[in-house]
Structure 1
């Protein structure tokens, strides 16, 4: 929790239960949980205390619905996954995996017994730990799950109203009617600004969600650029790190989170509590839209700039600072036609976050010219523009 706080995280979402069906919290529904087996610790409960004590918000993720078929292939060879299986067994129900995961009407259809068990587990997480966000993985969009998904959403939102807190659910693949929950893009982004709030979830490791020997890791620079781009488009970033078996975080993950935290310590005012501007940004580099599109780090130029706004400040984050220290923010140039939907405001002052020295700036027809030599960094630089 200390590391997450230093990295600048505002919310932390531990996995409450993954596809394997092992609960990482004390449960009254199944004995197959971390409080009774393995580490014999209530992992979710302990993280809740640690996270909230440091002023961060707790969420919880559940991937339980895929357990319908997750253990099914264990029946394809000689293993301990054998019938009869019944509710409460770790391997239950171990059904055949659908040939097409995105077939909304695949068979065998999850049974009422399985779906009631799924609903009870989700509600137990809510009641015991009061997470302010519940993250659902895929397959909740299956037609058989929909009635139970609606029941859960109603239960969760009503409980939140009783407790006087605001909560959210994230989802993929149109599992919810638009406006009922927060859309999530797994390992990807939107190409343009959105009028609705959304989330990207991705991992520091490019090839795994968990700790794996030989993992390949993204750079802090690349992740910061993604964060800036996402926030400028009305989104938020949920960044995954996979702990080792003893609960510790790898040196590589720690190093990346520490670098992100150092950048946030200087530039967080361009992220926290900001709103989108009239446009998300400018520049030649285009973002590939959709899920599973972030395996390669994007290469940005000094012309790639992202905008956020708070109060009288417009934050112009230059994703790649030029060696000569001269940038042109084209969206802030003098407009020759007052009838065009362009910026027509008054620029009162310009400075650079983290720098005591004031930049030289001049507003021309082609853009706002900002010169600040001496900055040596490979990470984004925030130009703060005060608007009258």
Structure 2
């Protein structure tokens, strides 16, 4: 399955013009530092119960339907139109603010679709690398509340997205890009912008960089103080980091590493943020240490089970934001990925990009509902679970209830294949006399052990109603 996943991803990479390292195919880190704050630890444990979230990329890039922000960056993997100069392209892109008018903006539709899918937490892009703000920041005029959408009652987009998802019982995560390519204290027009990094020597212009740190601090403070309860501060742009933290993982991205430090004073930001939001989870992506409370492998699933908190960020289609004629993954693919991720100790953060008018693509909504139908029946094997020492046998994955009293086996069925009459696995043998429940049908099923292999009989009534089914989930008491 992993080979098929990577092959499909490589094909998608060729189609979109995005190199593999930008899609997150880079070395998986095994560095992790557990938080020391008891409130953060408690919240992290609660987050590990959720398992399934939604990340929403929405911004100027939705208007033309292009890869989010990245075409502003002059690295060798970027493919902009041949007919435009770089300066012309930037002028065009910055000018999209005058066209972005999402008159059908419907955060309730988004939240309902996510709830129908069985998702439990949200991460919303308050600002991507392009610097366009999807909230009413007071630090810049480059924002959704200063343009054609300004007069709309829901112009302060982040406020209403957070509100809609809270009403559905979601945890709220604020995505914030540490780099800001529109800000003159990050990309200074005095110099060229050859890559993603700050484009001037910070050692020569320390005051300018101090101004940028103040800008970032003030924006994050606004999000922490003015937008209700926030559970996760999800910081992207891992190249903005202390120089001493640059490692092989960072070097694998291919971008040049400046000779100067690009840190924005995370200790100060974290102290402020947690005073406003006690127990806040901070995810300073790829900057391993006290401010990366869980790790975020992108578009990939770790090869092995990991003993610390993490989530895989994977798109429903090929792109994070909206792109016309998107090629979506099937519900079966998403369910199989979720199953493998949870068995390995992680959560799935699924990316869906709204259209420029402010609604979700009906096809995406339909697919999310199909995923949710499976989650309604099988969620007990996913939510509130923890890892087991034996977590995989072929296409069958195992989880355990948080209290350790129940074990779950989730047998993934190849897409298009019929539900078999029996399911078999090795490891996690049920206790003698244990009742086994097929969660997918809410029925007790017969099982036996033959040569150290569990053999479960699937009821004919279930198979007649479900010619195909993404994965079968079983609950039982495992032998000690």
CA contact (8 A) 1:98 1:107 kept: no
C-alpha distance in structure 2 between counterparts of 1:356 and 1:31, whole Å: 55
C-alpha distance in structure 1 between counterparts of 2:386 and 2:335, whole Å: 18
CA contact (8 A) 2:409 2:473 kept: yes
- Whether 2:227 is the aligned partner of 1:141: answer no
- Which moved further from structure 2: 191-200 or 112-121? 112-121
Q: CA RMSD in A?
A: 2.6
- Whether 2:376 is the aligned partner of 1:265: answer yes
State the partner residue of 1:352.
438
CA deviation after TM superposition for structure 1 residue 172, in Å: 2.9
Match runs of 1:1-388 below 5 Å? 1-40=111-150, 41-63=155-177, 65-67=178-180, 70=181, 93-94=188-189, 96-97=192-193, 99=195, 108-109=201-202, 111-129=209-227, 130-138=229-237, 139-141=239-241, 143=243, 144-161=261-278, 166-173=279-286, 175-177=287-289, 180-206=292-318, 208-283=319-394, 304-310=395-401, 311=403, 312-320=405-413, 323-333=419-429, 345-346=431-432, 348-374=434-460, 375=463, 376-387=467-478
What whole-Å deviation, never above 9, does each CA across 1:312-346 have from its counterpart, x for those lacking one? 2211000117643211120134xxxxxxxxx9x54
Q: Which runs of 5+ in 1 are unaligned?
A: 72-84, 284-303, 334-342
Q: Report SS of the residue matched to 2:136.
A: coil
State the partner residue of 1:76.
none
What whole-Å deviation, never above 9, does each CA across 1:235-279 have from its counterpart, x for those lacking one? 111111110111100122112211111111111111111111123
What whole-Å deviation, never above 9, does each CA across 1:121-179 have from its counterpart, x for those lacking one? 12221111242111121223353343512321232233333xxxx32122333x13167
Q: Which runs of 5+ in 2 are unaligned?
A: 1-110, 203-207, 244-260
CA contact (8 A) 1:225 1:319 kept: yes
CA contact (8 A) 2:412 2:472 kept: yes
C-alpha distance in structure 1 between counterparts of 2:335 and 2:170, whole Å: 20
CA deviation after TM superposition for structure 1 residue 204, in Å: 0.7
C-alpha distance in structure 2 between counterparts of 1:386 and 1:194, whole Å: 24
CA deviation after TM superposition for structure 1 residue 13, in Å: 1.3
CA deviation after TM superposition for structure 1 residue 368, in Å: 1.2
CA contact (8 A) 2:187 2:193 kept: no
Give the total of aligned pairs. Answer: 330
CA deviation after TM superposition for structure 1 residue 92, in Å: 6.0
Indicate how the Cα distance of structure 1 residues 39 and 92 shifts in structure 2: closer, same or farther if over 3 A, else same: farther
C-alpha distance in structure 1 between counterparts of 2:332 and 2:193, whole Å: 39
- Alignment TM-score, normalising by the size of structure 1: 0.78
State the partner residue of 2:205.
none
CA contact (8 A) 1:267 1:382 kept: yes
CA contact (8 A) 1:225 1:380 kept: yes
Indicate how the Cα distance of structure 1 residues 246 and 112 shifts in structure 2: closer, same or farther if over 3 A, else same: same
C-alpha distance in structure 2 between counterparts of 1:42 and 1:107, whole Å: 33
